[in-house]
Structure 1
Amino acid sequence: MGIARLALAGLAVLAVLALIVFGARSLIGALDSSEAETAAPSAPAAGSSGASGDTPEKIPTVLVECVAERCPTVFLKVAGGDVLLNREMARGEQAQSFDAKVDVVLTDASTVRVRVNGAPREPGGTGERQEFTVSREE
């Protein structure tokens, strides 16, 4: 009777380990595919169709560029949808979205340069938190 209990406990441990490994692999796969989907819309559209320069370059709905050494948390989210960015940025790093409507939260608006539909947005004051929504011009 004792060996049967040990065998059953061993099988239970193996089943739990298999579930953990399967779950970790699924999570890693999901994170990799969501990063690829997020990066795809931010690629410039000019010249990608093979046309001979008669297609104008697509302007992002919002473009956020870090101009300080370190920019505190920048948050971009498709209105009513997916979170595109929620992290700190380093100098020169950019984040953009071509979605029709994007919610933006800047922890320190003075550390970033923002362009809305290609037009520069007035910079915020030092330490000023800004929350706004931008929409694509049609």
Structure 2
Amino acid sequence: MGIARLALAGLAVLALVALVVIGAFSLFGALRSGTEPVASPTAAATAESSPPGDDRVPTVLVECLRDTCPTVFLKVTGGDVLLDREMVAGEQFRSFDPKVDVVLADAASVRVLANGAARDPGEAGERQEFTVSRED
């Protein structure tokens, strides 16, 4: 009877570990679902990403211009992190929040529109940090 108890205890431990792993993946997915990434290499696809009739200009729009763009970090000032990861070619991210902090690991690898106006690109490998506020 000793081996049966050990086997049952082992199965219980495996089931517990599986539940913890599944819970962690679910939590991670739920936390990431609040972002607005738009993978679109064309302007037409960008227009389709907003709801019909929505002609608002985003506070900030970041578009990856290279195969991969090193870490792009966007955060609502004093609030939630919107984006903190590498981007891929043509991928865009936009935010309509009133004030957004932006950190670019390589400013030359992305195109940034602040309230619809293009920011000057930085030098290759240049790290940039700035805040964009919504113009009313």
TM-score band w.r.t. shorter chain? 0.7 to 0.9
Shift in Å at residue 65 of structure 1? 0.7
2:12 matches 1:21:
no
Aligned residue number for residue 39 of structure 1: 36
2:129 matches 1:123:
no
Q: Which has the larger radius of gyration?
A: 1
Q: Tell me the TM-score normalized by structure 1.
A: 0.75
CA distance in 1, matches of 2:6, 2:78: 47
CA distance in 1, matches of 2:36, 2:24: 18
Q: Secondary structure at the match of 2:34?
A: helix
Q: What is the one-letter code of the residue matched to 1:12?
A: A
Shift in Å at residue 32 of structure 1? 2.9
Aligned residue number for residue 110 of structure 1: 108
Q: Secondary structure at the match of 1:60?
A: coil
Aligned residue number for residue 86 of structure 2: 88
Unaligned runs of 5+ in 2: 38-48
Aligned length: 127
Q: Secondary structure at the match of 2:129?
A: strand
Contact 1:107 1:128 (C-alpha < 8 Å) held by counterparts: yes
Q: Secondary structure at the match of 1:38?
A: coil
| Superposition RMSD in Å | 2.6
Tell me: CA distance 1:78–1:16, structure 2 relative to 1, closer, same or farther (3 Å): farther
Q: Secondary structure at the match of 2:103?
A: strand
Per-residue Cα deviation, 1:49-104 (whole angstroms, up to 9, x for no partner): xxxxxxx5122111001122332211112223332222222221111112222221
Tell me: CA distance 1:104–1:77, structure 2 relative to 1, closer, same or farther (3 Å): same
Aligned residue number for residue 63 of structure 1: 61
Contact 1:45 1:58 (C-alpha < 8 Å) held by counterparts: no
Contact 1:103 1:131 (C-alpha < 8 Å) held by counterparts: yes
Shift in Å at residue 16 of structure 1? 1.9
Contact 1:46 1:58 (C-alpha < 8 Å) held by counterparts: no
Aligned residue number for residue 7 of structure 2: 10
Unaligned runs of 5+ in 1: 48-55
